[in-house]
Structure 1
Amino acid sequence: MAKVLVTGGSGKLGRAVLKDLVTNGYSVLNVDQTLPRDPICPTVRIDLTDFGQVAQAVLGGVDERRGPFDAVVHLAAIPAPGLFANSRTVANNVPTTYNVFEACRLAGVRNVVFASSETVLGLPFETPPPYVPVDEEYFPRPETAYSLGKLLDETMAAQFCRWDPELKIVGLRFSNVMDVEDYKAFPAFDADPQLRKWNLWGYIDARDGAQAVRRGIEAEFKGFEPFIIANQDTVMSRSNMSLMAEVFPQVPHKRELSQNGTLLSIDKARRLLDYNPQHSWRNHV
């Protein structure tokens, strides 16, 4: 049974990740500052900004919660821009990611998945995207301290993989994470397309986000690769052609747009991770 350490498993996405991994036969240890509301695996409370605590956890030195671990999933972070002062957001998120990557290097863990963010693509798109659907092919455009931190995380990941050619780091650029109870608000979005233009009307069901994490663990390539992770549809009932004509009329279409298909391309994740989202808000309202 493969052993996986997950940071931030007590959060919205993290809870779904823990459940998915345990359901699929993994032995999981959650490390977080808070306990999960519905415990599904052991949790150790640590401060991820303290390298000593992170290294001890990854190296397997927390009493009976011992490794070695086959993979590490790093989700813990201040989860969005604007929640704290910019300096605090960067000072928390970037060193935390470094601590996890460096602890994995010392422990010989060569299978790492971490939460990057769709925000590196240029959200909230006050400057329109270069084309739609957006993908991983254009250089990131961070517009906030939070998204700048995520880009720094990705840059670190690439360099850690350069140092160790056997290392795999998967960066998942998650869209806006949703639980089923969030979907009751979705039908109202149609009245004003400006409400959700900030991420091209995208979202990710937490359960599909968890699937992407597991697919990242199971992927067999080496090196660093970033992946956009979204659901296969938008949050809107209105057609993509109608939305783009009204909100982003000058933005070119990289391919013919489907009626409601995601404008956050998940083609790369489908191809390299075998990611296949199973859920849609349309089945819950």
Structure 2
Amino acid sequence: MRIAITGSNGKIGRATTARLLADGHEVVGFDLDGPRGPGFTRVDLRDYGQALDALLGVTARHDGVDALVHLAAIPVNGLVPDATTFHHNMAVSFNVLFGAHRAGIKKIVYASSIIAMGFPFEEPPPYLPLDEGYTAANNTYGLVKVMEETMVGQLVRWDPQLSVTALRFTNVVGENEYGSFERAGELDYRRELLGSYVDARDAALAVSLAVEKAPPGFEAYAIAASDTGLTIPSAQLAAAWFPGVPLRKELGEFETLLSIDKAATRLGYVPRHLWRDR
């Protein structure tokens, strides 16, 4: 399968490129910066014409793609003014997702975020472990993520053969970025993430599984490691961070408070890179 990856030079993009190549796919990267060569084309995705044209074909690169992995975005609030974050990310996602629809691409996987689930959880979540049944945006980055899910929910109505998967990633940790886990015994560590994290290689695994297994229609999946990033038991964390919030099941000792049960059941997602196994 030939797969286009937007944001191919980002943290998840690099890991996903490596994963999909290892799976035997052909990969075409689209980004503002990247390694020169046959696997990469510089594209300004804020320009709908460039986005659509790149998806349809690029001379000496490809003559059409079978699937799209959309990862390109300003990655967090604060790097630029809030309105800029919103306008940039919303325009890029519309251009890429609508362009893919116009180009006849039937399989799309894209990066949503825990930020569409109430991050930073100054207002307690309605229950724990928190799953995809809850959606809330508390800043402009999160607002775009919620609007993206609304948009693709309509696109799949227009085309019953279209498959779109939103992966609600938590904080993505590169394999050389585990230094902060020295704070794993501190109660306030990763509270705004419900204690969660995901290794970039497991994020790429989730993308690969969605490309392979997602049926037509739209689904969102929370993607995290199977454990928390702390040495404090999960039930103790839940009680300290969110007193009175109901638990929907008995928690394993260090079980994630961001439920990955749906991804495990429907996609076969099993994280392989846990910080406490390093």
Sort the TM-score into its range (normalised by shorter chain): over 0.9
- Is the Cα–Cα contact under 8 Å of residues 6 and 73 in structure 1 kept in the other structure? yes
Residues 73-222 of structure 1: pairs in structure 2 closer than 5 A: 73-138=69-134, 140-191=135-186, 193-222=187-216
Aligned partners of 1:246, 1:229: CA distance in 2, in Å?
24
Corresponding residue of 2:275: 281
Distance change >3 Å, CA 184–CA 225, structure 1 → 2? same
Tell me if 1:51 matches 2:48.
yes
Name the amino acid aligned to 2:2.
Answer: K
Aligned partners of 1:241, 1:117: CA distance in 2, in Å?
24
2:237 to 234, 243, 247: 243
Name the amino acid aligned to 1:231.
Answer: A
Aligned partners of 1:8, 1:22: CA distance in 2, in Å?
16
Q: CA deviation at 1:101?
A: 1.3
How much identity, in percent, do the aligned residues show? 41
Name the amino acid aligned to 1:276.
Answer: V
- Is the Cα–Cα contact under 8 Å of residues 38 and 61 in structure 2 kept in the other structure? no
Greater Cα offset, 101-110 or 126-135: 101-110
1:66 to 62, 87, 90: 62
Corresponding residue of 1:223: 217
Gaps of 5+ in 1: none
Name the amino acid aligned to 2:112.
Answer: S
Aligned partners of 2:7, 2:236: CA distance in 1, in Å?
38
Task: Tell me the SS of whatever aligns to 1:195.
Answer: coil
- Is the Cα–Cα contact under 8 Å of residues 177 and 204 in structure 1 kept in the other structure? yes
Q: TM-score, normalised by structure 2?
A: 0.97
Aligned partners of 1:73, 1:199: CA distance in 2, in Å?
24
Aligned partners of 2:195, 2:173: CA distance in 1, in Å?
13
- Is the Cα–Cα contact under 8 Å of residues 189 and 235 in structure 1 kept in the other structure? yes
Corresponding residue of 1:20: 19
Aligned partners of 2:213, 2:196: CA distance in 1, in Å?
25
Q: CA deviation at 1:181?
A: 1.7
- Is the Cα–Cα contact under 8 Å of residues 3 and 67 in structure 1 kept in the other structure? no
Greater Cα offset, 213-222 or 169-178: 213-222
Q: CA deviation at 1:16?
A: 0.2
1:195-235: CA deviation from partner (whole Å, max 9, x where unpaired): 31101010010000000001111114111100000010100
Structure 1 runs of 4+ with >2 Å offset: none
1:103-136: CA deviation from partner (whole Å, max 9, x where unpaired): 1112110100000001111010000010100001
Task: Tell me the SS of whatever aligns to 1:246.
Answer: helix
Tell me if 1:253 matches 2:252.
no
Distance change >3 Å, CA 215–CA 40, structure 1 → 2? farther
Q: CA deviation at 1:194?
A: 1.8
C-alpha RMSD over aligned residues? 1.3
Aligned partners of 1:174, 1:40: CA distance in 2, in Å?
29
Q: CA deviation at 1:84?
A: 1.4
Q: TM-score, normalised by structure 1?
A: 0.95
Greater Cα offset, 217-226 or 124-133: 217-226
Aligned partners of 2:190, 2:160: CA distance in 1, in Å?
40
Gaps of 5+ in 2: none
- Is the Cα–Cα contact under 8 Å of residues 8 and 76 in structure 1 kept in the other structure? yes
Name the amino acid aligned to 1:237.
Answer: T
- Is the Cα–Cα contact under 8 Å of residues 29 and 42 in structure 1 kept in the other structure? yes
Aligned partners of 1:132, 1:12: CA distance in 2, in Å?
28
- Is the Cα–Cα contact under 8 Å of residues 55 and 103 in structure 1 kept in the other structure? yes
Task: Tell me the SS of whatever aligns to 2:73.
Answer: coil
